[in-house]
Chain A
Amino acid sequence: MKYKADAVTMQVIRYALEAVADDMGYNLMRMGRTTIVKEIMDINCGVLAADGGILAQAHLCPLMIFSLPETAANMIRQVEKFNDGDIIISNDPYLGGQHLLDVQLFSPVIIEDKPIAFVANIAHQLDMGGAVPGGVAGGLTEIYQEGLRIPFVKLYQKGEEDPQIFSFISNNIRIPEKTMEDIRAQAATTMIGVERIKALVLKYGQDVFLKCTSMLNQYSEKKVRAFIESVPDGDYTGIDYLDDDGIVDTPVKIQLNVHIRGDEMAVDFDGSSPQTKGNVNCPWSCTKGGVFYTMVGIVDPYMALNSGTFAPIKVSSKKGLVTNPNLPAGVTARSQTMTKIVEAMLRAMSGVVPDRIVAGSHGQACTNNFSGIHPETNKRFSYIEIQGGGGGARPDKDGPDGQDLHLGRFMNTPVEAAEIEYPVMIERYEFIKDSGGAGKYRGGVSTRRDIRFLTDVTWARYSDRQKFKPLGIFGGKDGSTSSLILNPGTSEEQKCKSKGVDQIKAGDLLSICLPGSGGYGPPEERQLQAVQADVIAGKISVQSALEDYKVVLDENLNIDKTATDFLRSKKEALHEA
């Protein structure tokens, strides 16, 4: 053999595996048809070991990767024989998947008649059937309303697509011509991946390939174990809440408990709410994903992600909790819960590594869908609007203003793109003053977008944080709540709930305000110039400078040093007393 299984070959194989995963991702984006695949990039691709563990992933939507190994492990138990050219499909949250819209495909890399690895991808599809077009609806109560649930079936056998399965699926979904083509693109992508992995195995030999991939797992595991070992043993808890589940108007509690012992960590959800009637339940792989995402960010955001990375972190949840629901709980709006799991995990870890965590971020996904008939074309339109809120303040700097969320990277819809396409006029798109929690480092401020409707529309949405604020940390204050207000400042002003479906009349204006984020450290420790700069930049008010930060500014926004010193020293004296 030309190359030995050594530390260098291990790294070279790691790059090669990452290249295969990334190239699969680019192929999928290139061949995909829907905006969700092509622009929002709600997809990911991975190379998996023979046991289903991750070997490498593409640099795409972080939250999507974690269901692949979970689903693959179930698949390997259930599927009797893998043949060259087989492609297995599944979207079942109860078999390791995300929500039903996220369709996963797996293809074995067969060498000498047995699978040496798998390639896999996952993509958010436009529609998988169910009660509501497009599927992104809160307020459903059973998974049966949410769409078609596909068990492990071979969509392709030995390279040939199975027409019966294709027609079975396409009969049960809306706009099948687009979605089935996207699924075909997913399939084509796995076939390319399989060939690339085969070439890699041929180049290095099966033995070197397997040894190096196992070395890679050990390498990542060692890195994470070294980190856990370096922090003190102990038990830590983080708690956050959802306002409601979209059906029952009571808060949903997420309690996350971390137990650190030596070089291992255990995470459980004892104390969390039972599974809910509304569909904010978090499928098991998503719950684990929230924990893993946070740990990668804390340990080393650029490390190789593989099954070794997660081996020292044991995540468990009692069945029947919102974090590990039983059939037939609905799960579509899981992103509201997943984001809270990240928040609770960060909060729990704040007691362990205060300089590696961030304060509470907006921690929800404000997804609005407006549909109606365009008055000029008489055609149905469907306008999805998703916005950025405040990012949590950090140990050494402010939180990012107006940003996407933990777990997912997405883009807004430009004002001009929305108005060209849909009968709306956007009257305002700006930061919200004082929405970021005060702190030594300020929480990120959030955004407000005011949309006037030029025709009647149906408005479906799920969001959160109208009641429970993003949390400040180490003396930092909480961020602002969110709001959805129709016709603000008029006699017809109406506050709307975070989840649900309503009608909006032509001429109405909807103001979408996202939550800000929590601050880090006591506000009175913030540098005076930073407070002044925030006032000049319109991110905080003069009043907040005075009340939250104890900084006195004159009418020209100059710092009144004497008055400020007096106020701040009074505060200190109070502390000491």
Chain B
Amino acid sequence: MKTFRIGVDVGGTFTDVVMVNELTGEFHYTKTPTTHDDLTEGVLKGLDEILQIGNVEMKDIDYIIHGTTIGTNAIIEGKGALVGLITTAGFEDVLEIRRVARPQEAAFDFSCDNPAPLVPRHLRKGVIERVNSKGEIHTPLDEASVLSVIQVFKENHVDAIVISLLFSFLNQTHEKRIKEICKKELPGVSVSISSEICPEFREYERTCTTVMNGYLGPVIKEYMDKLIDCLKSKYGEVTLHIIQSSGGTMAAHVAGDYAAHLINSGPAGGAIATAFISTLTKNEMAIGADMGGTTFDISIIDKNMPKTTTWGGVSNYPIKLPMVDLKTIGAGGGSIAWVDVAGALNVGPESAGSNPGPACYGWGGEKPTVSDCNLALGRLNPEFFLGGKLPLYPEKAHSAIKNYIADKMDISVEGAAIGVLRIVNANMAKGISRNSVERGYDLREFSLVAMGGAAALHAVDIARDLGMARVIVPSMSGNFSAVGFVVADIQHDYVKTFMKKDHEVIPEEFLQAFLEMEKDALLQMENEKVSVQNIELTWSADLRYEGQSWELNAPIELSKKVDVDYIKKIAQDFHQLHQTVYSYSEPMETVEFVNLRVRAKGKNRPITFSSEKTQITPENSYLKGKRNVYFEHTGWEMIPVFDRYQLPEKERIVGPAIIEEAISTTLIPPDSSGVMDEFGNIIIEFETEND
């Protein structure tokens, strides 16, 4: 019986693999170096290892869920496909004009630019046609103009064609006809049309999203085909799923057609896993904090669900598709600390990354990083980093901090290191504060879920500063994204721009729009072999008051019968939602129905962590020893170090203490204490600062 699932997260440095027994919730995990020349190599090695560790065979595997950053990398490195873009004549420059705004961070920076368009001007071609704002054909399609554009694409050997015409989301006729012509004239070249990829108003965002799909499609398809082939020749038939930026999965064989959905797939796994932990530990409001080598990713879990947005993007390119709402700030273990000309201490945004890496790695890095400071203060164990796989050099950390900070500021090395940690913590706290306040949340209700190798060293200080409720260091926090992969469901999102005022909505039309999207959804689920009883459909609508131009996404009740009262109820619920989010509502105002959405989920068998725990054991079995750790107010202090794998359930560890495991280290600072729960998560409670 196929009762195991494997999640594989290909990251910048490591490929993380986890495997779960669907019936018992028992997990296994491993890490293997990412093989940049050929990513499939590392994936296959990881799969091999995990099968060995769990002592199972590929035939026992229900399916594999894969996450990769190849989409993001292709954008950053400019290595996507050569795309030809067809627009309405007169609007070829929309992709490059964007919304005319400078990047937000560039308020005073004359040199800061938006990224170059993904299609150069000579491959952006207009055709004669026009649909008006009511969806009527104002100027019929001139097919001769299409053929002359295709001629240019032929001469330039484009890999992919993207078609994005004005108001195509109201009337697809012209886009579909052009697609037909392209398929006939340029067989084998992929064609993405905006009315299918992103049928929403706002021509720039729709075009950019569709271009992203065309730009990444061939890259993703090539990779997926190769991986599927490799798996097939090694193991026979294997079911492979891909994680999307929305946090759901899809079948690998369709991924090439939905490339724009796969941008942030790795970090999305972290948010899904955070939601999973929030449900498991009954902390329905949580902030996921993933601190890696160069970045700190923040996700918000509201009532056990990750917040999603349709206003996300990558590298300053907007992608108007539902995706997990992740905010990233430039702070990580590799962030470099430096003293500026006027004598102030700063941390980041420059990072030593993995090349040359922190000074203490001994790979040639000379500048002090956050990791060097953690090591210099005794918080990291030089002999047990990655379970001892990577030896650390405390003397290199010490001299980096001394040369670059302590001597320049005329303070001790300890003072300098603690200063770096306080500053990076303040920066991370600022990021969390901003992203929760912006959305109207009160952090006092939230738990901070610390994931990634480094977050658990900083989490309590950050959470305390923000007045948050508690810190949770989940089991397998170092492979957390991959944990998210295996608990995710298959998911597809559908949207239709509706654009009607509440009193103009014709119930039949409204219902029809949903039924059409449901039809598409069911077809897709069938294509991915989801059985009918496991399909879950939800409806929502993007609504706003007349005159506003940002919408709020409101869940609405599924119904076979839609009448005027049903529409009224939606508007009433919207006033309530608006009140919650924006702290006011205007019940007398007209409500506009902008977009209608259907989300289809193919539910997988739910997973839970196994709660089988070690028996109560004497302290000497989990106390690894003691070591000297430096704290701001008390200086050097000998504190106990515990082995996370041996820690018994419900044993309260009173700070200061350290809990070690191979892939992460947890600091329980003074005035806080941690308890291992029945699922292996460490729950840390603390006194707030102003008590």
Contact = CB atoms under 8 A, between A and B. Distances in A.
Interface stretch (A146-154, A402-410, A480-488): A402-410
Interface in B80-121: 90-94, 96-97, 99-102, 104-114, 120-121
Given A301-B110, A417-B202, A430-B90, A220 B434 contact: no
B344 interface: yes
Nearest to B112: A301
Interface string B230-244: 000000000000000
Contact of A301 (B108, B423, B689): B108
B100 A447 contact: yes
A19 B434 CA distance: 7
Interface string B174-208: 00000000000000000000000000011110000
Contacts of B92: 430
Contacts of A33: 584
Interface string A447-475: 10010000000000000000000000000
B325 to A, nearest CB: 14
B133 A416 contact: yes
B549 interface: yes
Contact of B107 (A223, A402, A409): A409
Interface stretch (B2-10, B264-272, B425-433, B568-576): B425-433
Nearest to A295: B108
Given A222-B343, A302-B109, A400 B166 contact: no
A572 interface: no
B427 to A, nearest CB: 6
A223 B341 contact: yes
A400 B423 contact: no
Contacts of B201: 414, 416-417, 420
B581 interface: yes
A295 to B, nearest CB: 9
B583 A31 contact: yes
A419 B90 contact: no
Contacts of B104: 59, 409
B60 to A, nearest CB: 49
Contacts of A417: 201-202, 549
B251 interface: no
Contacts of A430: 90-93, 97
Considering residues B423, B439, B547, which has the most beta carbons from chain A within 10 angstroms of its beta carbon?
B423
B96 A401 contact: yes
Interface in A151-178: none
Interface in A107-150: none
Given A11-B423, A30-B583, A430-B91, A219 B132 contact: no
B167 interface: yes
Given A15-B426, A400-B114, A26 B437 contact: yes
B433 A19 contact: yes
B300 to A, nearest CB: 14
Contacts of A428: 90-91
Contacts of B111: 394, 396-397
A365 B565 CA distance: 47
A404 B102 contact: yes
Contacts of A427: 90
Contact of A11 (B341, B346, B433, B690): B346
Contacts of A203: 689-690
B437 A27 contact: yes
A38 B430 contact: no
A415 B120 CA distance: 21
Contact of A410 (B93, B101, B112): B101
A318 to B, nearest CB: 28
A529 interface: no
Contact of B97 (A188, A410, A431): A431
Interface in B415-442: 415, 418-419, 422-423, 426-427, 429-430, 433-434, 437-440
A123 to B, nearest CB: 15
Interface string B338-353: 0011111110000000
Nearest to A422: B133
Interface string A25-39: 011011101010011
A8 interface: yes
Contacts of A419: 132-133, 167
10 contacts: A11-B419, A12-B422, A15-B426, A26-B437, A30-B583, A293-B108, A358-B110, A402-B97, A430-B92, A538-B121
Given A203-B689, A430-B93, 18 more contacts: A7-B419, A10-B344, A18-B430, A23-B437, A26-B437, A35-B547, A188-B583, A297-B110, A387-B100, A396-B111, A397-B113, A404-B101, A412-B100, A415-B203, A416-B166, A447-B93, A447-B97, A447-B100
Interface of B: 90-94, 96-97, 99-102, 104-114, 120-122, 132-133, 138, 166-167, 201-204, 340-346, 409, 411, 415, 418-419, 422-423, 426-427, 429-430, 433-434, 437-440, 499, 547-550, 581-584, 633, 689-690
